[in-house]
Structure 1
Amino acid sequence: MDKVVTAEQALADITDGASIAVGGFGLCGIPMALISELHRRGVGGLKVVSNNCGIDDWGLGLLLGDRRIVRMTSSYVGENKEFARQYLSGELEVELCPQGTLAERLRAGGCGIPAFYTPAGVGSQIGDGGLPWRYAEDGSVAVASPPKEKRTFRDRDYLLEEAISTDFALVYATVGDRDGNLVFDKTTQNFNPLCAMAGTVTVAQVERLVEPGEIAPENVHLPGVFVQHVVHAPGVEKRIEKRTVTRPTTETVR
């Protein structure tokens, strides 16, 4: 089954209020062509699950800046000033989740596992509740996280975490075939396969499109059973989140 379509065709069914899992870590491995198309379409009221929310002018930050996102489930938000402003002013609801827990919640959603126990967050507001999800205009907490169920296994406490599944997932892969089998290059793998698993309808942006059979079975990182649409998008701009340089020196390293 040939799953290759245009970005416009692939995202046509995403409407206001949809929940979407989006792959990437910082600006590494983000499906920018799909995000740009979603931004162009003007869809709003989105509930997004992603490790972070891009930066102020790139990635999911484009949607956030135009008030298209109403809720984020993330583990890290430190590179986006507009994100912080919207959250602290009560314009955006945010569920912060430990990074490993977020990854496992997405994987569990894709595997049909409704919930699991983890030690991450025990003894903190993650487990006890009270973590601010939404602030009021006066700075008070309007919506707080509920306490999580806790159980003890082998003398250690664990929290019950529910799986995440979403209406759609947008992911990026370096190589994909027409059947939807995907290969991720190095750290671009990050959250992409997990988000792809969690989406009811998954759209994969691929940099290089190949024919079925060209990817050896043992080299497939994510099988096509998790992917409904493939969008071939070569040459999409890639940005570096932070550039670090070393000052030149004439000193000899001893």
Structure 2
Amino acid sequence: MNKVCATAAEAVLDIADGSSLAVGGFGLSGVPDVLIRALYEQGATGLQVVSNNCGVDGRGLGVLLAAGRISRVTGSYVGGNKEFARQYLSGEVEVELTPQGTLAERLRAGGAGIPAFFTPAGVGTQVAEGGLPWRYTPDGDVDVASPRKESRRFNGRTYVLEHGITTDFALIRAAKADRHGNLVFHRAAANFNPLAAMAGRVAITEVEELVEPGEIRPDEVHLPGVFVQRIVVLTPAQAADKQIEKRTVRT
């Protein structure tokens, strides 16, 4: 039951080329930076990533993206990542954009063993009707477009069918863990992390604090250890290295 790995490098060692990854984080909040950098050093390529966004230039998943290690992204938005936008528009990476709430539920559903569900989000748009560009050609034409999705009416309202997501691995970050893998997240850093862990067949978490089993009260657990397979304990410097995506101050 001791799920602690000696190093981040050991934890990501068996992530192979072409693996699918669910990655937690929102912007730069709750991003598993240490695991991402360990995966960068490990060298796996052709990765298929499911994450709210793809980091920023030089941080988070942006590190793997800039190195050409990501072949496909399922996410909610491109954001301010200029390299992500460039690779998408030049046809270097395939991108499936999906409504943010739908993405969260697809991850949760996959982790709960639910293959698909109906939602009103996206009805009447290209999300449901198809035609969203997934991949461009180098000259700017649409090479691969999203397919039309099944829709049904319930109680007089139209809903679209979305499929649950499961991945080979998940990379997440938590504030606290015990050796059994029970996790506690800190405020907004929870974001997509619990859902990504549920969707991954092998969930790897970096944590700021490790405690012994029993020190986390049952009603304080945000994600049960059944969803977590490997734990990497951060150094104090790594735990304190938290970047702010857009800093604003009063005049």
TM-score range, shorter chain: over 0.9
User: How far did residue 148 of structure 1 move?
Assistant: 0.4
Residue identity matched to 2:36: I
What is the percent sequence identity of the aligned residues?
65
Q: Which runs of 5+ in 2 are unaligned?
A: none
2-side partners of 1:132 and 1:174: how far apart?
37
Instruction: Report the counterpart of residue 177 of structure 1 in structure 2.
Output: 178
TM-score (norm 1): 0.96
Instruction: Report the counterpart of residue 242 of structure 2 in structure 1.
Output: 238
User: How far did residue 183 of structure 1 move?
Assistant: 0.1
Instruction: Report the counterpart of residue 60 of structure 2 in structure 1.
Output: 59
1-side partners of 2:8 and 2:139: how far apart?
41
Instruction: Report the counterpart of residue 42 of structure 1 in structure 2.
Output: 43
2-side partners of 1:33 and 1:87: how far apart?
25
User: How far did residue 45 of structure 1 move?
Assistant: 0.3
Tell me the secondary structure at the aligned position of residue 27 of structure 1: coil
2-side partners of 1:96 and 1:43: how far apart?
24
After superposing on structure 2, the runs of 4+ consecutive aligned residues of structure 1 that deviate more than 4 Å are none
Instruction: Report the counterpart of residue 4 of structure 2 in structure 1.
Output: 4
User: How far did residue 112 of structure 1 move?
Assistant: 0.2
2-side partners of 1:11 and 1:61: how far apart?
18
Tell me the secondary structure at the aligned position of residue 2 of structure 1: coil
Instruction: Report the counterpart of residue 73 of structure 2 in structure 1.
Output: 72
Matches within 5 A, 1:214-233: 214-233=215-234
Larger radius of gyration: 1
1:107-139 superposed Cα distances (whole Å, 9 cap, x missing partner): 000000000000000000000000000001111
TM-score (norm 2): 0.98
Tell me the secondary structure at the aligned position of residue 161 of structure 1: strand
2-side partners of 1:77 and 1:190: how far apart?
17
1:9-33 superposed Cα distances (whole Å, 9 cap, x missing partner): 2111101000000000000000111
Instruction: Report the counterpart of residue 131 of structure 2 in structure 1.
Output: 130
Count of aligned pairs between the two proteins:
247
Residue identity matched to 1:241: E
Alpha carbon RMSD of aligned pairs, Å?
0.6
1-side partners of 2:90 and 2:248: how far apart?
32
